[in-house]
Structures are given as C-alpha cells and as structure tokens.
DNA sequence: AGCATGACTTAGAAGTCCATCT
DNA sequence: AGATGGACTTCTAAGTCATGCT
C-alpha cells in the first residue's frame, strides 16, 4: 500500500466550495427511483433462504440483476414506505440468532487496595445475570506471560477460555513496576503508589463505572476585565465607549482579526448578530454595520499584551508557572475508587466566538460564558462534594456511577453537552481503550468470513442488502467512517460512508490502464477532503451503477442504508462489531504488516525509526489523517538541506584526509601514521552516520508534509504492536512514544512482549 | 420504532514549552 | 542570551453509537 492514490488537496476553503446547490435536498421527497414491492421482497427473502445453499448460476445472477433494475422504476412514496417496512422486518428478524452476550461490566471485585495481579483481569464468567450490553468483557485475551507472582487459577482458566494458542506460564519476576517517584521532583506525596496497574485487576461487571468519585469541580474562566480607558473602539470613525458586555464580545472579534475567519461572510454575520444582543439599546441603535467598526486599537493592545508576556522576567514566568501548577494540583485530579487520577480537561471552556470547521453555518456565533448555574456535578454521595463559588450554586448535583464524567454543561451553539472527564492515562479510559483493541482483534479472527459474506451479498436480490454489502466493502477496504446522518444547516456538509451522495463518486469503466475505477471526492470529518481513485471489483462497480440509476447528484448513494441498519447487521455478525471497528482493525493490522515488511535487521537506529514512521504513515494515509502543511515547512526543509550539504562537504573533506593519511602511512609505515589513519577512518564513519541521520530526517519530514501521524498513533494503532516492535529490535520505547503517550499506553508497555501479535 | 439525546471517541488547530542554534 | 522552530500539550469541534423516550 503506497498511499499513492491519495490526493493531497486540503481542507476545502470554507466558503469556496460550491456545494450550496444541493443543500437540503429533501431525501425523503426525492422523486422517483427505487421502489420495491414489499411482497416481492418477502418472497425473495423466502426463496433466498430456501435455496441459499445452491450456488447461483450466472444466469440466475443476470436475472436477478434485471429484476432489481426493473423494480427500481416505481414511485418513491412507495419506496419510503417499503423502506420502513423493510426496516421493521429487519429489526424483527434481527432477533433470531443474536449472539448471547455475556457478562456485564460490573465490578467483580473491588479495585481498592491494590489487589494482587490478575492476569487478564476480565472474568468471563458472569457473576450475576447480564443486564444490557456487556460484550467485550471477556475479550481481553491478553495473556501475561510474565506477570509477577502468578497465582489464581481463575486467571488461568480465563486464559484458557480465550486463548486457544499458547499456554505458557513462565513466572517471571515482575519487571519494572515501580516508577521512580523521587524523580519527577514534585509530588512529595507518596501516593502514586508506584503507578497503579489497573490492568492487573478485575473489572466491574455490573455496568457501573466507579464506586467512589470525589473531585473539586471545574475551574471557571476568568471574569472579563474591561479594557483600559486608552484603548478605544471606533464606529464609523468616531470613538465610542462600549459597555462591558458588548465590549467583551468585541474583544473576541478583535483577537481574531488576523484570522481568516473574520473575513468570511457567515462568520461576520453570525458574530454581528450575536454581538448586537449584548449591546445596550443605545449601542444597538448606533452600531448597525460591522464594516464601520474599527477594532484595531483593541487588536494592537492584545498583541502588545502577549508580547509583554513573552518579555516577562524569569521570575514572573516562574510565578505564573507555579500558580498553574497549584491549580493543577488542586483541580486537576480526582479520587476514583481509591486512586488519584488525572482529569483531562478541568477548565471550563471560556466564552468566545465559535470556530466551526469547514463551511460551518454557525461560525462566528457567540459561545457564551458558562456559570456555576449551568453546571451539573457528578460525584459520589459519600464524597466531599465540590463547592460552587461563593454566592452561586450548581445547576444540579448528581451521583450517577453509570457514567464516567465529573462535570457537564450544555453548550449554546449546538445545544450539545460538554463534559469533564478523566485523562487518557486513567483506568477508566485505559480499560476502554484496551477493550477497543481486543474487539478489533476479534474481528481479525473472523474478518475473512465477513468478507466472504459481503461479497456474496453483492449478488443479493434485495437492494438494501446489496447496498449494505457495498458500503461495508468501502468501510473495510478504504477505512471510511460510518457516516451518520446529520441535521442539515446545523453543521458543515460532510459525509461518511452511509451518507455518501451520488455527487461524491464518479464511475470510470476504464481509466488509464485500469478497469472499474471509482473516484471518490467528498468532505469527511472536520471537512477534510477525501479524494481517492480505486479500482474495484466488477460486481461492486455494477452495483454502484445500479445504485446511481435515476438519481440526482444530491441524492443518497445508499438510499436504503443508514448507520443504524449497518451496525445492527454487524452486531449480528460479531458481538460488539460496529463500523468503526474496521478502522481500528485495518489500521492496526496495517501497522503490523508494514513493520514486518519494512524493518530490516541490519538497519541502524535511524533507519529503523524511519521504517516505523513509514509504517505509521501508511496507516495515516489509509485513514486519511491529514494536516495543513506547517507554515514553516519550506523554510525548515531548506534549513535541513543546508545542513545536509554542509555535512556532505564535511564528509568529502574527511575522506580526503583519510586518503592522505593512508598515503602517509603507506609511505612511512610508522605507528603514528597508522593511528592517524584509524582516527580519520572513524571520523569518516561518524560523519557518514550523521549524514545518514540527516537524510533520514529529511525524507521523513518530506513524506510527512501533510500527513498527520498523531491521530492514528493515539487512536487506531494497538500500542502493543509498537511495544513489541521496540522490544524485538531493542529500541527504547521513548523513541516511539513521548511521555504523554507512554502514560496513556502504560498498560501496553507493561504487558506486551516482543512476540505480541495483533 | 424513530428520533433525539447522552456519552464517549476521534480530530486538527492553536497555544506553549523547550532545545538548539546563532 | 535571544531567536527560532519543532515537539508536545491543550483545546474543543466533530464524529460514532447505544439508549431512552414519545
């Protein structure tokens, strides 16, 4: 996989793309296309079941095709009804052979008091009757080969259950458990009790996420400080003093003056509308045109402020740092089930102007200030409850241990809920992350079966099944996202697999030397463009042509499919399977394969690292993780090239000197000249290495120009693959993961051995 | 039974820090 | 010592997906 196919175009300039034409096509009232007779469907369904085993002959196939096509012509009112009915049917039938889900997520054993290590920590045997979804608990088939003092046969049994392969049990002394705590300086507290290994403990099986939770509540944004008198605002050339509320909102705009956002019509319109709401009647009557507003003094003032901040003395900077540290210590941690855990985002989002991505209809709107009265606190009943700031009160205090958040509030732009949750290094996030990769590994075990199945479904008599099968093929092959439907007009117009529209693909029966090429061009999450041309199998191609019949560009490609239908189907195929598991699976398996393919044992460290990055890059390309090329890219590339050139000159010189030395030695044969030769030889070697390292760096950087590796590394690649790779090649983990990443993946670093296989 | 909503994961950009070079 | 630029951290938007409600 060479990533060749990806176009490198970037985030579409919001506003520049002409995609307005189809906004809001009403997908339900779309004119004719597609309809199938319900009865027919039923019959076919029956027929299908009865002769499922009989291989379709080519002819049958062709007939089916015709039939399908034929049925497309009827009215769509019908179609929608049919769709609904079909959905019903589907739901009904979906109960037939649902895999049993077993145990829950409850705490089988209390995690407090550092318990003895339990190797995989997930007891497959339900201790209580299952309630709702519980899959996955059992899938942690991690087999600790070297765990400290193994005991429990329970663990062993469990291992047996889930791990058909190897059964080794060498009891190795537990390795590096304790983490230097004196080392991180601060934190005299001796808790942190040498890094809690939650992954060696059992998980809850009752759906509760914790049993005890105590925290200090959120940190609110600083109150607004009015501008000094000499910073003025001008309207239509005349100075005008704004009242604090309007002034504050004006400063939000002023601070963004250098940003492209402020040049966009929608942004300006939304901002102005919301700004006016903050104005007094007098202000409102005067200020009627944003173009007549002059925020320059404010803008200059803020620039000066940040400049001044940079120029602060060391002492002052230190003081600020200390104060931040104090706040972090006070609010940045919570106690969850006897362990002190780091909170992810303990600061409430400050007010400001909404910065949506891509062509967002709400960009520029005012994100209002969050007050204690907006806040819901979640904690244990028996904990010390966080106190609201003096004279205020929380909106609500609740004690819900079925959720993981500590604080929440409703945001005013989309009306969605925002949360304060724990850091990725926390048990609660780590367990989930681990579980995610285990689900992906289960998919690995049955993916070939599923592939065979969807290929087969390409021939189905039912349109909805074919659509489902083709969509799944895209999700699998191209790592597309599921593609939920979105409320129109509320967000940027972006799509995923199920929400692809006719206008997003182009079919090329022949293209260059390839057949059946599908060209994708659409905006995905975060309005990142996905552009790709790929050859597909003939059957897929024919199906796509069928799906496109009688449709307008703005119609849904998969009009009989949505994420809910798809996921329900997947759930039936494998417990816990959803569309996004394919992304995780394909990303991780790609990393593993690429590492195997690219790492040569003889390579030196930089070369190995380059291989790793290339493997990582292959995944990033697959997942379409892009970034805007850094503004300083060209320049930094040039700098690097200069360094390389210099190094090359240096090398030439060194070589020349070596040659001279050799000649000298040949002539004199004395000890001194021999030493000289050695010295020069070493010098050459050293410089060669340095040069190579620089060249690797350059290659790496160039290839990385607009590819973002971080997202896949953090969210899609089973960390145990990387850990194993490091161990196998004796590369220190620090070369691959920085400190934060090591904290997040502590579980993997601790448990994966060099022979881990995804 | 469809839809809205809540909870949680994934995402790129912006902001900050810090090492290295000049 | 100050500037520079890249690495790391923070921020918060934008997805996914299951659920609970009507």
The residues of A annotated as belonging to the active site are 716
Confidence of residue A174 (pLDDT cuts 50, 70, 90): very low
Q: How many residues does chain A have?
A: 758
Spatial strand order of the sheet with A514-523 comes to A505-511, A514-523, A529-535
pLDDT averaged over chain A?
78
User: Computed from CA positions of residues A405, A410, A411, A415, in that sequence, does the dihedral angle turn out positive or negative?
Assistant: positive
Question: Which secondary structure element, helix H or strand E, spans residue A341, and what is its range?
Answer: strand A339-342
Q: What percent of chain A has pLDDT over 70?
A: 75
Query: Which stretches does DSSP call E strand in A399-538?
Result: 407-410, 417-420, 505-511, 514-523, 529-535
**For A123 and C18, how far is CA from C1' in angstroms?**
24
The per-residue pLDDT for range A327-347, each reduced to its tens digit, is 999 999 999 999 999 999 999
Give me A565's structure tokens.
């239908």
pLDDT at A689 over 60: yes
- Please indicate whether residue A545 or residue A320 has the higher confidence score (pLDDT): A545
- Please indicate whether residue A218 or residue A134 has the higher confidence score (pLDDT): A218
| Residues β-bridged to residue A239 | A234
Chain B footprint bases within 7 A of protein beta carbons? 1-2, 5-14, 16-17
- Amino acid A757: pLDDT: 94
What is the SS3 assignment for A568? helix
**For A181 and B14, how far is CA from C1' in angstroms?**
32
What is the SS3 assignment for A214? strand
Could you tell me if residue A93 is left (phi over 0), alpha (psi between -120 and 50 degrees) or otherwise beta? Answer: alpha
- Please indicate whether residue A645 or residue A154 has the higher confidence score (pLDDT): A645
pLDDT at A412 over 70: yes
Distance (Å, whole) CA A243 – CA A253: 16
Q: What percent of chain A has pLDDT over 90?
A: 58
Distance (Å, whole) CA A126 – CA A132: 13
- Amino acid A445: pLDDT: 96
**For A485 and B4, how far is CA from C1' in angstroms?**
13
User: Mean of the pLDDT values across residues A319-325?
Assistant: 87
Distance of CA A289 to the CA centre of its chain: 41
Q: Which residues of A43-61 are buried (b: 16+ CB within 10 A; e: fewer)?
A: ebbeeeeeeeeeeeeeeee
- Amino acid A70: pLDDT: 34
Lowest mean pLDDT among A21-35, A185-199, A499-513: A21-35
Q: Which residue is nearest to nucleotide C6 (CA to C1')?
A: A636
What is the DSSP pairing of strand A376-378 with strand A396-398? parallel
- Amino acid A562: pLDDT: 94
Confidence of residue A627 (pLDDT cuts 50, 70, 90): confident
Nearest to A406 by CA among A381, A428, A431, A377: A377
Lowest mean pLDDT among A26-35, A352-361, A446-455: A26-35
- Amino acid A474: pLDDT: 97
What is the SS3 assignment for A560? coil
Listed in sequence order, the residues at least 6 apart from A685 whose beta carbon sits closer than 8 Å to its beta carbon are none
Distance (Å, whole) CA A726 – CA A744: 17
Q: Which residue is nearest to nucleotide B10 (CA to C1')?
A: A715
The per-residue pLDDT for range A504-540, each reduced to its tens digit, is 999 999 999 999 999 999 999 999 999 999 999 999 9
Phi and psi torsions of A234, nearest 5°: -120, 135
- Amino acid A145: pLDDT: 31
Angle (CA) A143-A615-A519 rounded to 5° is 120
Chain C footprint bases within 7 A of protein beta carbons? 5-19
Question: Nearest nt to A355, CA vs C1'?
Answer: C13
| Residues β-bridged to residue A336 | A213, A339
Contact call for residues A213 and A362 (beta carbons, < 8 A):
no
**For A457 and B10, how far is CA from C1' in angstroms?**
30
Question: Which secondary structure element, helix H or strand E, spans residue A234, and what is its range?
Answer: strand A233-235
- Amino acid A192: pLDDT: 53
| Whole-prediction pTM | 0.77
Distance (Å, whole) CA A270 – CA A275: 8
Nearest to A366 by CA among A302, A412, A409, A416: A412
| Cβ-based neighbour number of residue A720 at 10 Å | 24
Confidence of residue A193 (pLDDT cuts 50, 70, 90): low
pLDDT at A184 over 80: no
Angle (CA) A183-A187-A189 rounded to 5° is 110
The per-residue pLDDT for range A102-143, each reduced to its tens digit, is 332 223 333 332 332 333 333 333 333 333 333 334 444 443
Contact call for residues A123 and A202 (beta carbons, < 8 A):
yes
Listed in sequence order, the residues at least 6 apart from A738 whose beta carbon sits closer than 8 Å to its beta carbon are none
């Amino acid at each position: 996989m060479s990533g060749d196919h990806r176009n490198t175009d970037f985030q579409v300039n919001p506003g520049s793309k002409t995609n307005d034409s189809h906004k809001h096509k009403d997908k339900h009232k779309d004119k004719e296309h597609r309809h199938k007779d319900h009865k027919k469907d039923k019959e076919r369904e029956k027929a299908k079941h009865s002769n499922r085993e009989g291989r379709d002959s080519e002819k049958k196939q062709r007939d089916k095709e015709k039939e399908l096509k034929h049925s497309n012509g009827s009215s769509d009112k019908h179609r929608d009804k049919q769709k609904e009915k079909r959905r019903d049917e589907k739901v009904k039938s979906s109960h037939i052979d649902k895999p049993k889900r077993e145990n829950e997520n409850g705490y089988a054993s209390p995690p407090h008091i550092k318990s003895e290590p339990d190797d995989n920590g997930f007891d497959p045997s339900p201790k209580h009757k299952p309630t709702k979804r519980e899959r996955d608990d059992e899938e942690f088939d991690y087999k600790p080969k070297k765990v400290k003092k193994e005991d429990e046969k329970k663990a062993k049994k469990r291992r047996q259950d889930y791990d058909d392969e190897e059964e080794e049990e060498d009891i190795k002394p537990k390795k590096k458990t304790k983490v230097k705590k004196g080392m991180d300086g601060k934190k005299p507290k001796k808790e942190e009790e040498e890094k809690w290994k939650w992954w060696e403990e059992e998980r809850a099986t009752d759906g509760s996420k914790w049993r005890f939770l105590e925290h200090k509540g959120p940190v609110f944004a600083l109150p607004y400080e009015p501008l000094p008198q000499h910073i003025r605002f001008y309207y239509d050339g005349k100075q005008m003093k704004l009242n604090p509320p309007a002034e504050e909102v004006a400063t939000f705009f002023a601070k963004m003056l250098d940003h492209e956002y402020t040049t966009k019509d929608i942004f300006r319109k939304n901002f102005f509308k919301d700004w006016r709401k903050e104005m007094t009647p007098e202000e409102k009557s005067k200020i009627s045109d944003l173009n007549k507003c002059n925020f320059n003094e404010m803008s200059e003032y803020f620039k000066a402020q940040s400049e001044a901040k940079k120029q602060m003395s060391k002492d002052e900077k230190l003081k600020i740092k200390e104060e931040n540290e104090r706040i972090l210590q006070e609010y940045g941690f919570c106690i969850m089930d006897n362990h002190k855990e780091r909170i992810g985002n303990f600061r409430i989002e400050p007010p400001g102007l909404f910065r949506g991505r891509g062509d967002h209809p709400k960009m520029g709107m005012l994100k209002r200030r969050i007050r204690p009265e907006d806040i819901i606190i979640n904690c244990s009943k028996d904990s010390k409850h966080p106190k609201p700031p003096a004279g205020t009160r929380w909106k609500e205090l609740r004690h819900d241990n079925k959720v993981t958040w500590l604080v929440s509030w409703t945001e005013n732009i989309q009306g969605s809920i925002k949360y304060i949750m724990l850091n990725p290094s926390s048990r609660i996030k780590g367990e989930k992350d681990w579980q995610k990769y285990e689900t992906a590994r289960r998919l690995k075990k049955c993916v070939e079966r599923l592939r065979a199945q969807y290929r087969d479904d390409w021939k189905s008599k039912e349109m909805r099944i074919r659509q489902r099968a083709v969509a799944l093929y895209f999700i699998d092959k191209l790592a597309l996202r599921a593609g939920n439907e979105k409320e129109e007009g509320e967000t940027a117009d972006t799509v995923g697999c199920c929400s692809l529209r006719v206008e997003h693909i182009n079919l090329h029966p022949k293209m260059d030397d390839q057949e059946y090429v599908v060209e994708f061009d659409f905006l995905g999450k975060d309005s990142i463009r996905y552009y790709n041309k790929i050859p597909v199998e003939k059957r897929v191609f024919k199906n796509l042509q069928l799906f496109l019949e009688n449709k307008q560009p703005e119609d849904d490609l998969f009009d009989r499919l949505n994420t809910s239908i798809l996921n329900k189907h997947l759930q039936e195929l494998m417990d816990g399977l959803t569309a996004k598991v394919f992304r995780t699976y394909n990303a991780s398996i790609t990393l593993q394969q690429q590492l195997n393919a690219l790492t040569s044992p003889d390579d030196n460290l930089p070369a190995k690292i380059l291989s790793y990055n290339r493997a990582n890059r292959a995944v990033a390309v697959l997942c379409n993780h892009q970034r805007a090329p850094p503004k300083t890219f060209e320049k930094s590339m040039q700098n690097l090239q200069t360094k390389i050139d210099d190094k090359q000159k240096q090398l030439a010189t060194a070589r020349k000197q070596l040659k001279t030395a050799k000649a000298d030695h040949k002539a004199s044969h004395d000890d001194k000249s021999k030493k000289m030769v050695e010295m020069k030889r070493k010098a050459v070697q050293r410089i060669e290495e340095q040069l190579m390292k620089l060249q690797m760096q350059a290659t790496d950087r160039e290839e990385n120009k607009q590819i973002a590796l971080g997202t896949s590394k953090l969210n899609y690649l089973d960390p145990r693959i990387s850990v194993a790779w490091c161990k196998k090649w004796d590369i220190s983990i620090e070369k691959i993961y920085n400190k934060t990443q090591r904290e997040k993946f502590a579980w993997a670093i601790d448990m994966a051995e060099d022979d881990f296989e995804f």
